[in-house]
Structure formats: C-alpha cells, structure tokens
Amino acid sequence: MDFDAILPLTTVVAVLIAVAFLIKKYAMLSTNITVLFLAGPLVSASAPIMVFIGSILSSKMSSDPSLVTLPLGLMVAGTASATIPAAMLAKKIGRRYASIVGFFNVHFGAILAGFAVLNQSFVQFCIASFMIGLSTAFAQQLRFAAIESVEEKDINKALSILMFAGIFSAMIGPEVAMLGSNIFADSIGFSAAFFGLAIMSVLSMIVMLWFENPVVSEVEINIPVRPLLEIIKQPIFIIALLAAALSYGLMSYIMTSTPLSMNQVHSHSLSDTKWVIQSHIAAMFLPSLITTWLSNKIGIKNMLLIGSAMFALVLVIATQGHTVLHYWWALVILGVAWNFLFFSGTSLLHLSYHEEEKHKVQAINDFSVFTFQGASSLMAGWVLFNYGWEGVLISAIPFVIVMFFISFYYLVHTKKIEF
C-alpha cells in the first residue's frame, strides 16, 4: 500500500483524537462532550461521502439523469423518517444505547452500498442510501445529548464543540472515498469507501459505550407537560424550527447540485469538486470555534440576520460564473451561513420546551428539518438537469426572503417571545 495515499486520512483521525483530549482537559465540561466529539465524526462521515460521490456514482448506474440525486434524497428521507423513532427510543432506553442501535443502520447500509457499487445496482444503492440516512437521525440527536450533559450556562459552548466536530466529518468522508479510488480501480475503489465507512461506524458504537446518560433533577421532572399544539404555536418554536429547516434545506439543495454541476455539466475535475465540497463542509463547522463568543457578543438575533444575508450573497456570487473559484466562494459562504442559522435555531429550540417535553419537541423539530432537506435534495437533480445551475439559484430566492423575514421578526420581538 502506498503510504502517501493513506497519510491524509490518518492525519485527520490523529488530529481528531488530539483535539478530543484537549477538550477533555481544558473545556471544563462533562466527559460526555468528549465522547460525543469522537463518536460523531466517525458515523457522520457518511453524509460527506454521499455528497461527494453519491450523485456521481448514480449517474453511472442510472439511465435517467434526473434520478441521479435520488439516493441523496432517499438518504435524507431516511433521516426524516427516523427522527421521531430516534427521539422516542432515546427517551425509552437512554441516549447511549439508542445511539448505538441507530448507528447499526449506517454499518449495514454502508456494506450494502459497497456491494451495490460493485454490482452497479442503482436500486440496491438507493436502499443502502435510505439505511444510511436512518442512522443520521440518531447522529443528529447527539447535539441534544450534548445540551443535556451540561449546565445552562455551558449550552452554547457544548453545542459549538459538537458542531465543530463536523469539520472532521468533512475531512474524513471524502478522504476515505479518495483513498479507495487511489488504491483500487474505478467502482472497486468507491465500494471500498463504503466498506471503510462500515468499519468507522463500529468504532463510533464502541466510543458511545463511554457515554453516561444525564441525570435529570426532580424539579425538572415535576413541571407539568403541555399539549404539543400549545408548544409548537409558540413564536420561539416557530422561529427556531424555520431557522433550522430553511437553512438545512436550502444548503442541501445547493450543495447537492454542486458536484453534478461542476463535474457532470461543466467538466471540472473530481479533484476540484472534492476541494469545493470539502471546503464547504469545513465552512459549515469551522465557525463553531467562535459561535459561542459571537453569540454572546452580538446575540442570536443578529446571527440570524447575518446568516440570512450570507445566503443572499451566495446566490449573487454563484450567478456570476462557473469557474472553480465561483463555486468555491459560493459554497464556503453557504457553509458559514448554514452554521449561523442552524446554531441559532438549535440554541433557540431548547427555550421552547421543559424537561419532560424535550423528546417530542426535538422529534418534531428534526422531522420537519430533515423532511424539508430530503425534498430539497430530491428536487436538486431534477431542477439542475431541466433548468441548469441558474435555475437552482433562482428557485432558492423565495426561501432566502422567508429567512430574512423571520430574522427581522425575531430582531424586533426578542423580549416578547422568549419565556
């Protein structure tokens, strides 16, 4: 085996472990945060792998170009369909074992995807994508596990650390895909990427064994549980949900279209495409290093507004040309915009529920977020091949306008809508 081929992946994993130890030593947070920081990227690497090579593989396996983003759409559909079961299972058996059960899906889904690529079976690949998506719902629950593992004053810090861990997913996923393609030829190489993902999912399950389910105080338990309709009618819940759902859906819509537009439509190299996607996913999570400080400095209300403005800037840049730099700048700013809005939405969500209400509220929130993301991913390929890259960008404008509206609403009514 060529040592140079495996060096990037081993370097990223080594840095992940080193940062985890630094968090444990200096962050002054629960050990659970370190456990989640390690486990999350290993299982969440499935999304960057699928974004990077999923549509490209589908274009070779499917005879209908408009279906090339179907596996990505099904992956997110799997996430959406598992959000409520993931939250309810966590309530029943605790975060630790619920996560482990959920991560089994990515293990078996990755193995199935590996064989689907070898057999050039598009149907099999679609089924595998859905299974991988099921596990993502459990991985998304890790951010709520982090919130529950710390005191109120440390919630934003814990959330920032968990979101920052995503940068390692951004690096690990594509590097696993490239490692397979460098060592093996064509489809065998890409199948090796999925077999590698199956191994990483096992490691993430082992790490989660060290997670300790948070202890809930009697005071929190004894607060009366409100009807779900009463909770979701709160302006703070609506704003939190829309911030997360719109940012995730729009980000996924543009991101899913990018590899196809770059590699299949405008003939940019796979290496350039990988660089843009890796930069984008890194930009999604790297700002988490400063989001705690920034949210304390300017407030969530201004983060919402800045994030919405960045989404508008993405559309402006992306319409100016089709060079690698146009894609790179648009996707990097897209990542930062998503970070600001998704962090803000998650941070606001916990203000809408009490302890005994958390699982059902978290379930409804994630179901809505990933249903919208799934629809966006599914539509991306169809819009791109029928109306081009410009069609994708123009159709995103109404959602940016809605994001501006909710940002201004929260800016004006902040004190009235928080309880």
Q: Per residue of the chain (419 residues), give pLDDT as tens.
A: 455 667 777 888 888 889 989 998 888 888 999 999 999 999 988 888 887 788 778 878 887 776 777 887 788 888 888 988 998 999 899 999 999 999 999 999 999 999 998 888 999 999 999 999 999 999 989 989 998 899 888 888 898 898 889 888 878 887 887 776 666 655 565 788 888 889 999 999 999 999 998 876 555 556 778 888 898 889 899 999 999 999 999 998 998 888 888 877 887 887 888 788 878 878 888 898 888 888 888 888 899 999 999 999 999 999 998 899 999 999 999 999 999 999 999 889 988 888 788 888 988 998 988 888 878 877 887 888 889 899 999 999 999 999 999 888 888 876 656 54
In which domain, by residue range, is 328 found?
A: 3-417
pLDDT value at position 264? 76
Two tokens, residue 62: 């499917």
* pTM for this predicted structure: 0.80
Nearest to 358, CA basis, from 367, 348, 349: 349
If phi > 0 it is left, if psi is from -120 to 50 it is alpha, else beta; for residue 151 that is beta
- What pLDDT is attached to residue 419? 45
What would the two tokens of residue 310 be? 């960045």
The domain total for the chain is 1
> What is the DSSP annotation of 85-139?
HHHHHHHHH-HHHHHHHHHHHHHHHHHHHHHHHHHT-HHHHHHHHHHHHHHHHHH
pLDDT at 58: 83
| DSSP structural state of residue 264 | I
**Cα separation, 355 vs 223, whole angstroms:** 8
Lookup: tokens for 99: 């996560």
Give the helix, strand, coil percentages of the chain, each rounded to 5.
85, 0, 15
Check residue 26 and give its pLDDT. Answer: 83
Q: What is the CATH number of the domain that holds 325?
A: 1.20.1250.20
Q: How far is CA 322 from CA 47, 266, 279, 329, 400, in A?
A: 25, 7, 17, 11, 22
Using CA atoms of 329, 331, 336, 341 in order, give the dihedral in degrees to the nearest 10: 140
Residue type, 89: L
Nearest to 47 by CA among 200, 188, 209: 200
Burial call 101-139: b when 16+ CB within 10 Å, e when fewer = bbbbbbbbbbbbbbebbbeeebebbbbbbbbbbbbbbbb
For 139-194, give the secondary structure using H, E and C.
HHCHHHHHHHCCCHHHHHHHHHHHHHCHHHHHHHHHHHHHHHHHHCCHHHHHHHHH
CA dihedral 12, 139, 164, 396 (to 10 degrees): 110
